[in-house]
Amino acid sequence: MKLMYRIALFALLGAAAFAQTDTPPAGKPPAEVEQALRARVNELYTLLKNHEYRKAEGLIADDTKDYYYAGPKQDVHTFEVLDIEFSDRFSHAKATTKCSEPLVVAGFPPGVITLKIPTLWRFENGNWYLYEDPAKIASPSGLQGKVQAAVEAGTAAATAPPSEAPKDMPKEIPKDPAFVLGKLQVDKPEVTLAAGATELITIGNSSNGPMQLELGYPLKGIEAKLDRTEVGKGEKAVLTLKAGKEPAGGTFYLRVMPTQEVITIHVQVK
């Protein structure tokens, strides 16, 4: 029996995806530099608020676009740019934005969570672009730490448990993200494909309930197909990667719902 335990921590996990806090402050910038970046940050969050995710692509650095395509998108209700810290002679910055987002957990009344979300920006080609370290966004343990920081920084609306909750339903929303993160594992995090070859990758679910899988941005010349998109407790799904005549290697992304984690599979071609 599927648990009524479909944890939808979209706000926490989506917000944490780009969160990073290791950019040191570096003095006060020229006024026009800060104004330009504030306008850029406001433009990004306005697009997210309006669910215009494709238009927001133009504000993402090239080396972060693949993750943006495959990764979670924030459901922003309101936002306010609080602070900007510059570094590297005002060519890099960390912007902290306060966002209110929905918090939905099955069996609980819907609520709203307010988070202070840091994003990293760098100046290149005459404009500011949001970027992230691929090694950090691909790490479930790194994501877990960011989610925990977001939980501690944010203020969630009060949510009372239902009067008739299933016996497996927690009485309170857990605040430790470890209870849902890292529960889907692949048997082959790296594969090598020749032209015309096929690789099968198995994804197992060790969580207490069903999870959904979504295919990320495709790799050129490689067809990706899942035999199922919903993986129940203890079940497995199979991802098929089939190379065409001229495949291109890279990193293939799978998104896990509702946790919005990103599973990476490194594809080499020969």
d(CA 17, CA 5): 22
d(CA 139, CA 16): 12
Distances (CA, A) of 224 to 151, 190, 194, 198, 267: 35, 15, 15, 10, 12
Q: Which fold has domain 7-156?
A: Nuclear Transport Factor 2; Chain: A, (3.10.450)
pLDDT at residue 29 tops 50: yes
Q: Give residue for tokens 């570094």.
A: 87
3 pLDDT band (50/70/90 cuts)? very low
pLDDT at residue 173 tops 60: no
d(CA 19, CA 59): 16
Reported pTM: 0.50
Phi, psi of 46 (to 5 degrees): -65, -40
pLDDT at residue 270 tops 60: yes
Q: What is the pLDDT of residue 26?
A: 54
69 pLDDT band (50/70/90 cuts)? confident
In contact, 203 and 254? CB cutoff 8 Å: yes
- Non-local (6+) Cβ contacts of 87 within 8 A are 23, 24, 25, 26, 93, 94
Which sequence spans correspond to the domains of the chain?
7-156, 182-269
Q: What element of type H or E holds 133?
A: none
85 pLDDT band (50/70/90 cuts)? very high
Q: Which fold has domain 182-269?
A: Immunoglobulin-like (2.60.40)
pLDDT at residue 38 tops 50: yes
137 pLDDT band (50/70/90 cuts)? low
In contact, 58 and 108? CB cutoff 8 Å: no
